[in-house]
């Protein structure tokens, strides 16, 4: 609807002047003196499509005459095609309302200020059409971490970066700080951090986020966090079963490990970044999962076999996690004790004892979420369980671990081509043949497309069960 488009405001100086976004739209309104008739005529006019329907606009307004408004009179904004002084533009319902002398048609000047316009409205007004990407349009996507919005602006939008950031803060109440990445993740640090510039707001990047019912606190400039991976975190966590052991080689601050611990999964969680390790320790304590999640600060390539040996040692030592009685059990116990004084009531059940879950001998899942280089860590799995063949099929019902390795691959015309590309790289590193397919079939990997990270690049997760010729090979 042309009347409800924002005014064109080009800012060569890069300064946001909010006053320039004021716009007055001349409308007609159905004035209803009797307040008890407002609901009736609103329903009638809406059903007849004679009322104004525009996003984020309240159609019931005070009467434009201040004296009438002071008496409580209201009016209903009418469709833009209706003119107050031209009855030929009135619809049948409006004419009926006027003929019954319950409604009068009056002019109404609707003034829209900066606060009304959406982020997209404002940016389309500020950025010239020739500067807007024909495929992606105005930049709207960004990562968030607490109060921080993280942009990755293309070169074409850099002249408008301050304006974009300022409007984002205005239009997103939870955002106080906007930053823009100035180099790719990992280019300047081995810890997946990145250089950035603050475009708007508070320079404080200490944030708190919640994901999968867990709370994490961290300095966004010192650790890796990507809000767009929430679904991937949940997808893998759903695969983990209570009582299993998961080894998270590149755990970061714990988005896989801590929620898994919440559901009773044992996790050996490692990250090479000392700052991530500190935040991981904090998350473990903050979310009360220390019985299940153990933090480590080791080189991931070394940690693969160290974790397998450590889990087996914990099993041999009889280590376990104790579950306190649930809240329901405690409530039932209190109720039973309260009723115990009444001899006609069944005696209370014995006090529930903490339950113990032993740590198993082997790891069920390995997670390697470092897509830029995780595949290069795969040679570390050679000899993972050498000498411990009796722990697995066919000697027991235990299967060899499932490995989930994240990676990047270029987009290709053939949608299957990236899957084969990923498997070829895995095969090269493991020294065995891996092909796309059912991961429960030896030598097959399920390749899940996690997300698009760039116009020509996707992120994948390859899940496959470790083969005996790898797990039981000699350790190098």
Collapse the DSSP code of 310 into the 3-class scheme (helix H, G, I; strand E, B; otherwise coil) and give the result.
helix
User: 252 labelled as ligand-binding?
Assistant: no
Residues 70 and 62: their CA atoms lie apart, in Å, by: 9
Given 63, 83, 112, which residue is the final one in a domain?
A: 112
Mean pLDDT for all residues in the chain: 92
One domain for residues 59 and 154: no
One domain for residues 78 and 126: no
Average pLDDT of the segment spanning 20-25 = 95
Residue 44 belongs to domain spanning: 23-112
pTM: 0.84
In a domain, 6, yes or no: no
One domain for residues 233 and 252: yes
Would you state the pLDDT for residue 136?
A: 75
Residues 396 and 385: their CA atoms lie apart, in Å, by: 14
pLDDT tens per residue, range 55-66: 999 999 999 999
Q: How many domains does the chain contain in total?
A: 3
Would you state the pLDDT for residue 278?
A: 98
In a domain, 210, yes or no: no
Residue 335 above 80 pLDDT?
no
Output the domain CATH number for residue 360: 3.40.50.150
Q: Which residue has the higher pLDDT, 344 or 241?
A: 241
pLDDT tens per residue, range 143-174: 899 999 999 898 889 999 999 999 999 999 99
In a domain, 261, yes or no: yes
Residues 420 and 171: their CA atoms lie apart, in Å, by: 43
- pLDDT-based confidence at 187, cuts 50/70/90? very low
User: 233 labelled as ligand-binding?
Assistant: yes
One domain for residues 337 and 401: yes
One domain for residues 403 and 424: yes
Detail the DSSP E strand segments found in 33-73: 60-62
pLDDT tens per residue, range 98-152: 999 999 999 999 999 999 999 999 999 999 888 888 777 888 888 899 999 999 8
One domain for residues 353 and 302: yes
pLDDT tens per residue, range 256-280: 999 999 999 999 999 999 999 999 9
Residue 320 pairs in a beta bridge with: 358
One domain for residues 427 and 467: yes
Taking the CA atoms of residue 467, residue 468, residue 471 and residue 473 in that order, the dihedral angle to the nearest 10 degrees is: -120
Separation of first and last alpha carbons in the chain:
69
Q: For residue 264, count other CB atoms closer than 10 A to its CB.
A: 17
Among 53, 47, 54, 59, residue whose Cα is nearest residue 93: 47
One domain for residues 235 and 363: yes
231 neighbors 244 (Cβ within 8 angstroms): no
One domain for residues 275 and 357: yes
Q: What is the largest CA-CA distance in the chain?
A: 95
Query: Which DSSP string corresponds to 424-460?
Result: HHHHHHHTS--EES-TTSTTEEEEEEEEEEETTEEEE
Given 204, 231, 249, which residue is the final one in a domain?
A: 204
Residues 55 and 29: their CA atoms lie apart, in Å, by: 18
Q: In percent, how much of the chain has pLDDT > 70? A: 92
φ, ψ of residue 141 in degrees (nearest 5): -90, 140
One domain for residues 255 and 341: yes
Residue 35 tokens read as 């307040």
In a domain, 1, yes or no: no
One domain for residues 154 and 32: no
Q: Which positions ≥6 away from 202 have C-beta within 8 Å?
A: 147, 176, 177
pLDDT tens per residue, range 31-51: 998 889 999 999 999 999 999
């Amino acid at each position: 609807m042309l009347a409800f488009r924002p005014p064109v405001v080009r800012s060569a100086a890069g300064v946001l002047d909010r006053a320039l976004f004021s716009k007055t739209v001349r409308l007609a309104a159905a004035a209803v003196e009797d307040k008890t008739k407002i609901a009736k005529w609103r329903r009638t006019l809406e059903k007849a499509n004679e009322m104004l329907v525009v996003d984020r606009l309240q159609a019931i307004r005070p009467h434009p005459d201040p004296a009438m408004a002071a008496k409580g009179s209201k009016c209903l904004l009418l469709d833009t095609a209706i003119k107050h002084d031209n009855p030929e533009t009135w619809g049948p319902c409006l004419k009926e309302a006027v003929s019954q002398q319950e409604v009068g048609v009056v002019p109404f000047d609707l003034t829209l200020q900066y606060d009304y316009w959406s982020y997209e409205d404002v940016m389309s007004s500020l950025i010239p059409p020739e500067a807007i990407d024909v495929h992606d349009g105005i930049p709207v996507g960004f990562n968030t971490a607490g109060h921080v919005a993280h942009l990755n602006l293309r070169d074409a939008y850099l002249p408008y970066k301050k304006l974009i950031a300022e409007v984002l803060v205005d239009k997103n109440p939870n955002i106080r700080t906007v930053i823009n990445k100035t180099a790719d993740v990992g280019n300047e640090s081995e810890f997946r951090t990145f250089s950035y510039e603050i475009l708007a707001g508070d320079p404080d990047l200490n944030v708190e986020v919640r994901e999968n019912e867990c709370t994490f606190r961290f300095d966004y400039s010192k650790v890796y966090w990507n809000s767009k991976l929430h679904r991937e975190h949940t997808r893998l966590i759903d695969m983990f079963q209570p009582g299993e052991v998961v080894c998270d080689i590149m755990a970061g601050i714990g988005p896989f490990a801590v929620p898994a611990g919440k559901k009773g999964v044992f996790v050996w969680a490692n990250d090479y970044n000392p700052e991530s390790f500190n935040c991981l320790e904090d998350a473990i304590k903050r979310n009360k999962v220390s019985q299940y999640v153990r933090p480590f600060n080791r080189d991931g390539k070394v940690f693969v076999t160290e974790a397998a040996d450590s889990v087996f040692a914990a099993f041999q030592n009889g280590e376990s996690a104790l579950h306190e009685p649930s809240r329901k059990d405690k409530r039932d116990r209190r109720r039973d004790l309260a009723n115990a004084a009444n001899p006609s009531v069944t005696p209370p059940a014995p006090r529930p004892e903490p339950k113990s879950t032993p740590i198993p001998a082997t790891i069920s899942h390995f997670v390697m979420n470092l897509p830029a280089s995780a595949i290069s860590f795969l040679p570390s799995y050679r000899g993972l369980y050498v000498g411990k063949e009796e722990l697995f099929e066919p000697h027991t019902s235990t299967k060899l671990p499932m490995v989930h390795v994240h990676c990047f691959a270029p987009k290709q015309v053939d949608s299957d081509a990236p899957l084969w590309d990923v498997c070829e790289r895995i095969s090269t590193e493991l020294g065995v043949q891996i092909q796309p397919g059912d991961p429960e079939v030896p030598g097959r990997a399920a390749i899940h497309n996690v997300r698009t990270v760039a116009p020509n690049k996707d992120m994948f997760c390859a899940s496959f069960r470790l083969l005996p010729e790898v797990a039981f090979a000699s350790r190098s």
